[in-house]
Chains A and B, each alone.
Chain A
Amino acid sequence: MNTAVRYKSNKEDQMAIVNTAFMKIIDSIEQFKVGSNYFSWAKRIVSNTVIDDFRKNKKYKDLFNADIDETADPFTGDFTPEAYKEMEVEEVQQILDQLPPATKITFNLFAIDGYSYKEIAEELNIGYETVKWHVKEARKRLKIILSDNSELLRH
């Protein structure tokens, strides 16, 4: 459920992902090796379900290409992580939801689920550099959003 919520902001979509993932888990329970970590295995299935769902969109590749702007200015502001340690989980989730879909899924896979650039590129059938760009873009945007939030909090 946690994984589904991270990837999907809409509740119906989250439930759909959870249901599909459950069905996959039930179908392939025989493939689960006893002794291995069940939660990691189930989490991986949910992640794959999210990727499959994302790829159902015929133009998902366009989403990755549309946002790329190499000339975009890098973020130059200060980022002090300690300031956000006390943030609520819901707030962090809301900030993550503000990312464009392609950037969001890439960042989710890389930063939270621990996929490598190469794995993401293979799973999403996109270029290695595109993955890198989206992760970088996600960080940049998140910093901006977090900075804005902190300024608001200060005022």
Chain B
Amino acid sequence: MSKEDKHIDNLFQEKLSDRSFDGPPADFLADLNERLDAKPVVSKGRKWILFLNLFFIGLFVADATIDFSTTRTAEVEQLTSKEKSFKNENAQKENASIKSDDAEPTNSTERFSNTSVTPDESGTNKAKSNTSESNEIEENQANKQTKESNDQADAGVNDMFNYKTQNKNQGESSKNNFSGSKEASNSSTDSKKDDSTKKNNTSINKGDEVAAKDKTAEKEAENTSSDKNNPPKSYSESLSSYVSYSAIYAPQFEKVDRKIKTNDFPEFPKPWNELVADDNNDKSKNPPKQDENTRMFELQLHGGATQWNYKTLGTNDNYVYKIDAAGTPKWTPNFGLGFNVNFNNISIGAGLNYAKFETENLFEFSEVNSYDSTYVAGYDENVTYDTLGNPIDTTYTPYYDSTTVTDTTYSTTSITNQYEWIQIPIHFGYRFNLNKWAIIPRVGMNIGLGIRQSSGQYPNETYDQLQTFSPVKWHLNLHTSLEIRREFGNWHAFGKFNYQRNFTPTIDNALFERKFNGVGFSFGVGYSF
């Protein structure tokens, strides 16, 4: 380093390194302190965002807690109450039959022995009655089977209830068939109405053998009469268990019903409450049937169009303004495929999309030409004198000067710039079901892979020639969409509005960076499984 260099350095160091400046005035500092101490005010927008966040969290939590098990519990409670009412009803009927048995001991014989008595033994009327009841059961069973086949896909809790209601009569008729209590009740009612006719019927229909059995039954009836206010507990429980059981375990009904026809009372391994408890504990054996609107996985194909817009940032404001003003974005196609996973109406998905950005640009280039221009700067005056010194002629000779003149010429160039990306969307949403329709708002992000071959041309900074700018390799988009779909069995058709915005720029170079945002729509089909 030469001495001069050192001197220069020292000069600037001495003069500038220890310069001092006055601090800000006291009132400025006081104002600053006040501002710093002031309580931050939550803006209205923030309040809304907070409210919406809480609302959606509440919605998700509510949805997550109302699942099949709670519905199932409600159903169990209803069934239990129905069971109880049925028990009461049954007990009343039993009481009534027992009362009539006291009056007509022969009928009590039917009640306790009917399970072993064949239709032939029970006489014409009884056989007819049994036959009609059997027919009724068969009809009910046929109805049940038809309903089963029709509603197999939609069999749920409500269907079970319907089914139970439908079979209630069947249960009653079965009960009649098993116990004859209803018959006894009917018979006793008849006997009350027309006692003599009843007696005749009894004597005609049953004959001596039955009468002998009646005698033995009298003894049993006497024993039973002591419990007439308390109908046989296990019997009524088993009966009601059967009814409930048949209602819930519809597929086993046929087997049970076959037993009914042969007048064999079906033996169930456990009472109803235990069965329900077991059923609740072991859901894997009887998993809740999934609604067709909330199948677990989806594959979607879609296509549509997007209108892009952009925001350009750069150090040269004039340049940025000019290239922004020169471009007109166009609608561009987009298409792709998606894969979604649904759980509790929450949809999480990913996919692969193709997106394209296109602008029609009209750049105006300016060309500055400089040349020397010569002009007459003035005139030299030459006067010719005669011998006497009088001017006889004057000549003017121009003298010239030159200057550099700059001339600007403008030319317009039309350029279409295209940028293409492969996008990997990752999003989650919430599904609002409305019968066969569903609305799914989603938010997420797109990881964009710029296709380098699709590059655009823009003017250089001096705006005199074109320069090629490629898209960045990877960029990130934030996006939101609203999907409206219609289900057709496993298939669905949908329309989707979407908005996406660059989180990181898509074009980034020394001159400028450009972020895109696009509003678009797409239509597509999907398959759920």
Q: Is the CB of A2 within 8 A of B511?
A: no
Interface residues of A (CB under 8 A from B): 1-2, 5-6, 57-59, 61-62, 79, 81, 84-85, 87, 89, 92-93, 96, 107, 110-112, 139, 142-143
Chain B window 9-30, contacts with chain A (Cβ cutoff 8 Å), 1 for yes, 0 for no: 1111101111111000000000
Closest B residue to A93 by beta carbon equals B16
Q: Taking each of B4, B8, B9, B17, which has the highest tally of chain A beta carbons within 10 Å of its own beta carbon?
A: B8
Cα A111 to Cα B8 in complex, Å, equals: 9
Cα–Cα distance between A57 and B513 once the two chains are bound (Å):
12
Q: Provided the pairs A2-B20, A2-B21, A58-B315 are in contact, do residues A96 and B4 lie with their beta carbons within 8 angstroms? A: no
CB of A42, distance to nearest CB on chain B (Å): 14
B392 in the interface, Cβ–Cβ < 8 Å?
Answer: no
Tell me if A81 and B16 are in contact (CB < 8 A). no
* Residue among A58, A89, A142 facing the most chain B CB atoms (10 A cut-off): A58
Closest 8 CB pairs of A and B: A81-B7, A111-B9, A92-B15, A1-B21, A59-B510, A2-B19, A79-B4, A58-B510
Most buried by A among B10, B11, B18, B510: B11
Minimum Cβ distance to chain A for residue B93 (Å): 86
Contact partners of B4 in chain A: CB under 8 A: 79, 81, 139, 143
**Could you say which residues of chain B place their CB within 8 Å of the CB of A139?**
4-5, 8-9
Cβ–Cβ contact B11 & A62, under 8 A: no
Docked Cα-Cα span, A41 to B5, in Å, equals 28
Indicate if B495 sits at the interface (CB-CB under 8 A).
Answer: no
Among B7, B9, B15, B511, chain A packs the most CB atoms within 10 A around the CB of: B15
* Contacts A59-B510, A112-B17; A79 near B7 (Cβ below 8 A): yes
Distance from A67 Cβ to chain B, minimum over Cβ atoms (Å): 16
Majority secondary structure, B binding face? mixed
Contacts of A96 in B (CB 8 A): 12, 16
Interface residues on B, range: 20 to 34
Contacts of A93 in B (CB 8 A): 15-16
Q: Which of A1, A2, A81, A85 contacts B8 (CB 8 A)?
A: A81
Within 8 A of A (CB), among B473-529: 509-513
Main SS class of interface, A: helix
Residues in chain B within 8 A of chain A (CB atoms): 4-5, 7-13, 15-21, 314-315, 461, 509-513
Shortest distance in angstroms between A135's beta carbon and chain B's nearest beta carbon?
A: 9
Pair B511/A143 contact, Cβ less than 8 Å: no
Within the assembled complex, what's the spacing in Å between the Cα atoms of A2 and B14? 13
In contact, B315 and A92 (Cβ under 8 angstroms): no
Distance (whole angstroms) from the CB of B459 to the closest CB of chain A:
15
Task: Pick 18 A–B contacts, CB within 8 A, sort by A.
Answer: A2-B16, A2-B18, A2-B19, A5-B19, A58-B511, A58-B512, A59-B315, A81-B4, A81-B11, A89-B16, A93-B16, A96-B12, A111-B9, A112-B12, A112-B13, A139-B5, A142-B12, A143-B4
Alpha-carbon distance A2/B19, docked complex (angstroms): 6
Which residues of chain A have C-beta atoms less than 8 A from B7's C-beta? Answer: 79, 81
A92 contacts which chain B residues (CB < 8 A)?
A: 11-12, 15-16
Q: Which residues of B are found within 8 Å of A89, using beta-carbon distances?
A: 15-16, 19
Q: Which residues of B contact A5 (CB under 8 A)?
A: 19, 21
* B315–chain A nearest beta-carbon distance, Å: 5
Indicate if the CB atoms of B16 and A58 lie closer than 8 Å.
no
- A111 contacts across to B, CB distance below 8 A: 8-9, 12-13
Which residues does chain A contribute within 8 Å of B314, judged by CB atoms?
58
- With a cutoff of 8 Å between Cβ atoms, the chain B residues found around residue A6 in the complex are 16, 19
Question: By the criterion CB–CB under 8 Å, are B511 and A59 in contact?
Answer: yes
Q: Output the least CB separation between B323 and chain A (Å).
A: 14
A81: which B residues are within 8 A, CB to CB? 4, 7-8, 10-11
Q: What is the minimal beta-carbon distance from B469 to any residue of chain A, in angstroms?
A: 13
Among B13, B16, B20, B509, residue most surrounded by chain A Cβ atoms (within 10 Å): B16
